[in-house]
Amino acid sequence: MAGLNVSLSFFFATFALCQVARRASKALLPAGAYASFAREAVGAAQLGACCLELRMLAELGPWAGGFGRDVLLTLVFLLFLAHGATCDGAWANPTVSLQELLLAQASLPGALLQLAAQGLGVQAACALTRLCWAWELSDLHLLQSLMDAHCSSALRTSVPHGALVEAACAFAFHLTLLRFRNSLPVYRVPAVALLVTVMAYAAGPLTSAFFNPTLATWVTFRCSGHTVLEYAQVYWLGPLAGMVLAVLLYHGHLPRLFRRNLLYSQRSKYRTPRRKPAPGSRATQTPAEGHSGREPGAEGAQTRTPLSPKTSCQ
């Protein structure tokens, strides 16, 4: 369990350093630069470092650390719970940034800046995590530093099946985000953490359940077993397709591209109430009204005036 304790210390140190960097950048940078770049970069670095350490525990823990999937799934839930509580609104996921773009809630330059920040953050996390492994603070880190140059692929199924799995994970993830979009963090963060844990349990043995193109690019694209094009089909096209399908199913259209609702007919929320006749209205009729109603021709005969010969010739 010494290796697990070192990994727990690594997680705590990662969250502490990222929180310090988050507060420092928030105090020193303008609000726009912090929201669109620094916050996403720090969040991506935090997520990338934790996911790399988790992947190392998943590969080496069962036979070198003496702990099973129950410990790993508990760590996944707790880490995503802590990530959601400390990320300050940064999801560190390119598909979430593109989702905001499709919902017409972010501009194209802002979305591209977020994508660049996420890539830089994950790249920095990979470099720092491998540096920490090189220090060989535990037997697990020693083994990982020796095996890092010959990493195994995270894709353990066929390419079409893997793309379908990643699309399904991204679909469920984005549909949950859209459903809890306006909810309080006390409800949204546990719901997302629980969903990620369930998907890690179900899809982890197949694709590692990344549903994050940037994270998958820096973690598994360099590993042998598949080509870059095959990795791109699974870890790029799969999550993008799942995100677009979730937005289309939830909203009925893509606000950035189509204004018309393609799936659902829009009906007014307010209905005009029908007027009901006042009680006793027929009983309050005057005798003259009743007489005119019984003999409609009599009144017409009384009011009809004969035309003069001059008028009839015209």
Residue closest to 214 by CA, chosen among 104, 90, 84, 71 = 90
What is the tens place of the pLDDT at every residue in 184-239?
Answer: 999 999 999 999 999 999 999 999 999 999 999 998 998 888 999 999 999 999 99
pLDDT of 260: 74
pLDDT of 252: 87
Which residue in the block uniquely carries the two structure tokens 């590692």?
A: 208
Q: What is the mean pLDDT of residues 7-22?
A: 96
> What residues does each domain of the chain span?
2-251
Residue closest to 227 by CA, chosen among 155, 119, 122, 147 = 155
pLDDT of 55: 92
What is the tens place of the pLDDT at every residue in 253-299?
Answer: 888 887 777 677 666 545 556 666 556 555 445 444 444 444 444 44
CATH class (in words) of the domain with range 2-251: mainly alpha
Q: What share of the chain is helix, strand, coil (3-state, %, to 5)?
A: 70, 0, 30
- DSSP letters along 228-285, please? HHHHHIIIIIHHHHHHHHHHHHHHSS-TTT--S-SSS----S--PPPPPPPTTTTTT-
Whether 304 shows a pLDDT value over 50: the answer reads no
Q: What is the DSSP letter of 296?
A: H
pLDDT of 275: 62
Lowest mean pLDDT among 138-152, 164-178, 189-203: 138-152
pLDDT of 267: 60
Amino acid, single-letter form, for residue 254: L
